[in-house]
Structure 1
Amino acid sequence: MNAPAASELPDGVSGLGRSDLLAGRVAVVTGASRGIGAAIARALGAHGAAVAVNYLRNADRARQVVRDIQQLGGRAESFAADVTDAAAVADMVAAVAERFGPVDVVVNNALHSYTFDPLSRRTAWDIPWADYSAQFTGSVGGAYTVCQAAIPGMRARGNGRIITIVSDLIERPGVPYHDYTTAKAAVVGFSRNLAADLGPFGITVNCIAPGLVPGTDSSAVATDEQRDDLESATPLRRLTTPADVAGAVLFFASRWSDHVTGACLFVDGGLVMR
């Protein structure tokens, strides 16, 4: 099969190149049928990893991501599982291990259902605790469930990478989505505790906090004026792309980040500097 031209490369691969950087590694990407998750899965596949493309409902999109990776000469397969369902996740991790080998890299990207709308959002004085609870279950609970399934194998082999996608809203709540942002901040705390416990086993745990990414659920209701204002406020003068996030994942998934754990990397063009 001839390699596709650069202009034909799918989102998340163009600009990031191809290599064997992750050859022999097996990665699970949750919520990988579209958006940022799909870009991450494609990038991991383009750099040699065998990729488990997890999805909840959209099997067709997940299969398309698999085909994109295979077009690049990579290995991939789609796996349906609700990341908050411990039994389903355990079955998925076992199926991935049977298909490709033990899981080396986990990317927690799955997003609990949420409506990003600054005009209809709940304010601090009217948001019920049930909204917070739902987001904690989806964000922290989902990451917890996937990690619990993958950690035993990583510990046994003395190596592993856990990467979780959060949001730069945890440091710069331009729109105060109280429940969503609080849950994402909790994921960072969860990840740092994992990093402290798992470091002696050669397992690193890090987070990536993207800015607003056009074409995703979080940006669907943003107006052109709002996007222009955000670009103007961004030191690098552009919004975040799925490929930007995928590039950060490649770093954390590879040997180049061997001595980095407990970090939260902001990928937002400099909106958050810390």
Structure 2
Amino acid sequence: MQIRDQIVLVTGGARGLGLAITQTLISEGARVVVNYFSSETQAKKLAKQYPKQVFTYQADVTNKDQVKVMFNAAKEYFGSAITSIINNALIHFEFNGDARPKIEDLTTQTMTSQFNGSVLAALNTTQAGLEDMKKAQFGRIINVGTNLVQNPVVPYHDYTAAKAALLAFTRTASQDLGQYGINVNMLSGGLLQTTDASKATPDFVFDLIASSTPLKRVITPEEFSSAMMIFLSPYSHAITGQNLIVDGGLVKG
């Protein structure tokens, strides 16, 4: 299925990286379900600008019931079910090395919050879309990860542990769902310049990362979003359970 024929849910799709993903999908001709939690103004602006391509819906993706209602609402709006899911939403996090919780400060609540925002949210959207994807014998699920799992240069314990768990879930889900024509993959970025989560990062950190990459620059949200289209395109038919790192070559493998 071509990208232009897909209906793609982007969680957290109205701001930051999610907005860049949404805009890339729009340019590819896809219909996009823009999920948001608090970014109502940005979401409504997208819906007004692209009424035939964009459907916006407020939902807490860690709430299973709200996610199910969102899928049903999107199906009614477009007349067809969601075919593809991009689990991008980020729960209350900033890349600020000075403010990060140290080992001594970590709590069950902190760890659980990030796990719920990464893994539980992905489980909720996957389960909500599963019946229609099985019927269609087609589905594309892309989870947004981080290269900090492979290279934890800054120990964001809660965030990185949650994304590592999401990577494991990506691979186990791909094993379970491949028989139905559903591909599950992860796209992992480094520090992107600039998103809402990275706006607290000092400039010298961006400069250090840029100097360490073969490309000698930091990757933008738009570049990351473009790479995501690989997993949505027909050329990825035989690719599942994979983690593609898009960080300018900083981390290998």
TM superposition score normalised by structure 2: 0.95
Q: Partners of 1:238 and 1:65 in 2: how far apart?
A: 30
Q: Partners of 2:163 and 2:54 in 1: how far apart?
A: 28
Q: What SS does structure 2 have at the residue aligned with 1:151?
A: helix
Which of 3, 6, 31 aligns to 1:50? It is: 31
Report the Cα offset of residue 189 of structure 1: 0.4
Once the two structures are superposed, the pairs formed by residues 233-252 of structure 1 within 5 Å of their partners are 233-252=212-231
Report the Cα offset of residue 69 of structure 1: 4.4
Which of 194, 219, 228 aligns to 2:198? It is: 219
Task: Kindly provide the amino acid, as one letter, of the partner of residue 86 in structure 1.
Answer: K
Change (3 A) 1:266 1:68: farther
Share of identical aligned residues, percent? 37
Once the two structures are superposed, the pairs formed by residues 150-189 of structure 1 within 5 Å of their partners are 150-189=129-168
Which of 188, 198, 203 aligns to 1:209? It is: 188
Q: Partners of 1:199 and 1:30 in 2: how far apart?
A: 23
Task: Kindly provide the amino acid, as one letter, of the partner of residue 74 in structure 2.
Answer: V
Report the Cα offset of residue 28 of structure 1: 0.6
Which of 113, 117, 135 aligns to 2:114? It is: 135
Q: What SS does structure 1 have at the residue aligned with 2:105?
A: coil
Q: Partners of 1:127 and 1:150 in 2: how far apart?
A: 34
Conservation of the 8 A alpha-carbon contact between 1:41 and 1:51: yes
Report the Cα offset of residue 218 of structure 1: 3.1
Q: Partners of 1:238 and 1:251 in 2: how far apart?
A: 22
Report the Cα offset of residue 231 of structure 1: 0.4
Q: Partners of 2:27 and 2:126 in 1: how far apart?
A: 24
Conservation of the 8 A alpha-carbon contact between 1:46 and 1:69: no
Report the Cα offset of residue 122 of structure 1: 1.5
Once the two structures are superposed, the pairs formed by residues 68-107 of structure 1 within 5 Å of their partners are 68-69=49-50, 75-100=53-78, 101-107=80-86
**5+ residue gaps in structure 1?**
1-19
Task: Kindly provide the amino acid, as one letter, of the partner of residue 15 in structure 2.
Answer: R
Q: What SS does structure 2 have at the residue aligned with 1:208?
A: strand
Q: What SS does structure 2 have at the residue aligned with 1:33?
A: coil
Q: Deviations over 1:11-64 (max 9, x none)?
A: xxxxxxxxx942221111100111111111111121121111110111111122
Q: Partners of 2:231 and 2:144 in 1: how far apart?
A: 12
Conservation of the 8 A alpha-carbon contact between 2:94 and 2:198: no
Conservation of the 8 A alpha-carbon contact between 1:42 and 1:69: no
1:22 aligns with 2:3: yes
TM superposition score normalised by structure 1: 0.88
Q: What SS does structure 2 have at the residue aligned with 1:169?
A: coil
Conservation of the 8 A alpha-carbon contact between 2:95 and 2:201: no
**5+ residue gaps in structure 2?**
none
Q: Partners of 1:144 and 1:21 in 2: how far apart?
A: 25
Conservation of the 8 A alpha-carbon contact between 1:38 and 1:65: no
Task: Kindly provide the amino acid, as one letter, of the partner of residue 53 in structure 2.
Answer: R
Q: Partners of 1:130 and 1:98 in 2: how far apart?
A: 37
Report the Cα offset of residue 249 of structure 1: 1.7
Task: Kindly provide the amino acid, as one letter, of the partner of residue 196 in structure 1.
Answer: Q
Q: Partners of 1:195 and 1:59 in 2: how far apart?
A: 33
Q: Partners of 2:173 and 2:73 in 1: how far apart?
A: 24
Q: Deviations over 1:91-132 (max 9, x none)?
A: 100111111111111000010112332112122233122211
Task: Kindly provide the amino acid, as one letter, of the partner of residue 152 in structure 1.
Answer: E
Q: Partners of 1:86 and 1:44 in 2: how far apart?
A: 25
Q: Deviations over 1:159-183 (max 9, x none)?
A: 1000011111111112100001000
1:195 paired residue number: 174
Q: What SS does structure 2 have at the residue aligned with 1:119?
A: coil
1:39 paired residue number: 20
